[in-house]
Chains A and B, each alone.
Chain A
């Protein structure tokens, strides 16, 4: 049924999916969101998931990130089969291994920018004081120096997205998943945000998966998987010598 896509001349495999399926609901109203996904996502690369609305992109990254359980097939993320983890263990696994960037930034308005960024560290048990200090350091490298004490709502959309990125990166996760990270941003900001994200993918024990509709950023990917109706129908490697890639 499914075609297997293997990537040539790629880095070691970070995430391996074999015939992964997911169906929502049952009976008459059942929706087969994923109909057998086979893909190897290499470490040290940025992989984009593209495809028409409703094709299963969000479902797929939710499964990769341990937010959603698959119905069938095999999945290993950095060698770990997520299906074997109980709910609390899985939460801890996400806490320690995954960074999330949502389309809605989901920054808590009552907390300061730095506090928002510090949440993953605080969840890992670090004290608020030291987590906030580290958050401020990271914000500085993202061009948000001095904004740590601001309320998120006082920031522009692009700044808020950078805060959300800081929150996704602060605990140095091995897997970074992003669902439409640039859709709320204009072209220039979207490009800058993607470059930030892309900068994360070069280290060999990391992987970045980005869901997007935004063709202006395709050139930043190492490979692009095209989904249609719950299957990957094309897997495209972006040539290494594109100007953007070379400039990086």
Chain B
């Protein structure tokens, strides 16, 4: 009878496609919105993960997320270095500065200053050039290959060329991407691109410029507090947790492992912004649309077939057999609908990857969508089963 149950489902094509679309749409909405949510929210702490080989981040205790500008005094570096168990400690500058391009256009950049000596905290992927070149005069490395790459130069200006005095560029003219040798101005100081790097997409959609710490603070507006954080490597004989406690006790600064710092940043964005609520609403909407469309179509499908179920019951089908048929129909519709939805999300995700849209499908997300579809199907089939259980086989003789 199970084969007949499947045929009954597939055979009623209008309802079947309706159910499929409903479930597909629900799982699409749930998985896609959840993936964008995860993608977007993980951009808030993506930078922390990008700084490798670091055991601890030391920063102002009142800072609640990595991009919050609450710089430390330069003396904090020496105080951290003075804590026993610190193998090395490196300063980090991170700040938004305005760059002026040769054509006069201006662009906010996320400027990162890394330790002059160790170059700790450098970019993960260098596209061209060498990290050591950052030590050359005026050197910076510029981000390319992401949706956040915004340093655009007039196409007529060759890499490294300086505009002739009085040369004007059409602001709407053709543009080219930044190249090695290009000159930009940061806070009225000259900066020369010596390399191109790739960076994680971050929440602040500004192109990243890497340079050394000592130069970064000359780009930054003068202040006694310019150091964004101190990056710490723990000595082999001390655990990061112990060292973090020691640093907190001795310096009064916050000290967290990269994952703790990521969590703190994530927590801030989740707590303080409407992002989770917004996505939560979209996901809930997907779920209820699924229940409303697919659930109720499935119920209608069962109602349509009730007289046949009644005939089967009269002919001696056990209630168990009939419920099995309904459950199987719901299961098949659920699996196919889920596949449709997740397939669509995957296509969407492949197209979105590398683009402006944050999209990150964790392995949990398909499971969540599957669970949601399962709940919808169970809900739909249970109310349908209720009808089938209540079905009086004697009703088959009643005219319909």
Contact = CB atoms under 8 A, between A and B. Distances in A.
Interface in B1-46: 1, 3-4, 7-8, 10-12
A179 B318 CA distance: 23
Q: Which of A110, A119, A123, A179 has the most CB of B within 10 A?
A: A110
Interface in A108-131: 108-111, 115, 119-120, 122-123, 128
A215 interface: no
Contact of B7 (A65, A103, A104, A115): A115
Contact of A108 (B4, B321, B394, B396): B4
B316 A92 contact: yes
B374 interface: no
B396 A95 contact: no
Contact of B318 (A92, A98, A111, A128): A92
Contacts of B396: 67, 100, 102, 104, 106
A120 B316 contact: yes
Chain A interface mostly:
helix
Interface string B273-302: 000000000000000000000000000000
Nearest to B312: A119
Interface in B366-400: 393-394, 396-400
A67 B314 contact: yes
Contacts of B311: 100, 102, 106, 108
A9 to B, nearest CB: 32
Given A67-B394, A104-B307, A109 B315 contact: no
5 contacts: A67-B314, A68-B394, A106-B311, A108-B308, A119-B4
A91 B399 contact: no
Interface in A41-85: 58, 61-62, 65, 67-68
B313 interface: yes
Contacts, number: 86
Contacts of B308: 106, 108
B4 A123 contact: no
Given A108-B311, A110-B12, 16 more contacts: A58-B398, A88-B320, A102-B311, A102-B396, A103-B399, A106-B310, A106-B311, A106-B396, A108-B4, A108-B305, A109-B11, A110-B8, A110-B10, A110-B11, A123-B1, A123-B321
Nearest to A122: B1
A87 interface: yes
Which of B305, B394, B397: most chain A CB closer than 10 A?
Answer: B397
Contacts of A58: 397-398
A111 B305 CA distance: 12
A18 interface: no
Counting chain B CB atoms within 10 Å of each CB, the highest count among A61, A65, A67, A96 belongs to: A67
Contacts of A67: 314, 393-394, 396-397
A94 interface: yes
A62 B394 contact: yes
B319 interface: yes
Contacts of A120: 315-316
A92 B310 CA distance: 15
A96 B399 CA distance: 25
A94 B315 contact: yes
Contacts of B393: 67, 94
Most B CB within 10 A of own CB, among A88, A103, A106: A106
A120 B316 CA distance: 8
A104 B319 CA distance: 22
